[in-house]
Amino acid sequence: MNDSMATLPWLVIRQDDNGNRYRVGRYATRAEAQKIADSLDGRGHKQLYWVERIGQNGVSDRDQNGMR
């Protein structure tokens, strides 16, 4: 795990209406990431936003559990 993963372990992920997923940003706390995700989600677009934590191995919890 590098320093940026240790200090910014929370990801905001965006999924568009075609199912494509993108990392929007990385944040130090879950609350900070959730605030951004909620703000983006409130814009009324078709995209879906959620928060994930990066695991010890540098992979998000969702990817680690086979949910891509």
Are 30 and 51 contacting, i.e. CB atoms less than 8 angstroms apart? yes
Q: How many independent structural domains does the chain possess?
A: 1
Give the pLDDT confidence of 11-56 residue by residue, as tens digits. Answer: 999 999 899 999 999 999 999 999 999 999 888 777 899 999 998 6
Residue 61 lies in a domain: no
Residue 21 lies in a domain: yes
Look at residue 35 in the predicted model and tell me its pLDDT.
Answer: 98
Three-class secondary structure of residue 8 per DSSP: coil
Q: How many Cβ atoms from other residues are within 10 Å of residue 15's Cβ?
A: 14
Domain that holds residue 26: 3-56
Residue 68 lies in a domain: no
Are 35 and 44 contacting, i.e. CB atoms less than 8 angstroms apart? no
Model confidence, pTM: 0.73
Look at residue 67 in the predicted model and tell me its pLDDT.
Answer: 44
Please report the sign of the dihedral spanned by the C-alpha atoms of residue 39, residue 24, residue 12, residue 44.
positive
Residue 63 lies in a domain: no
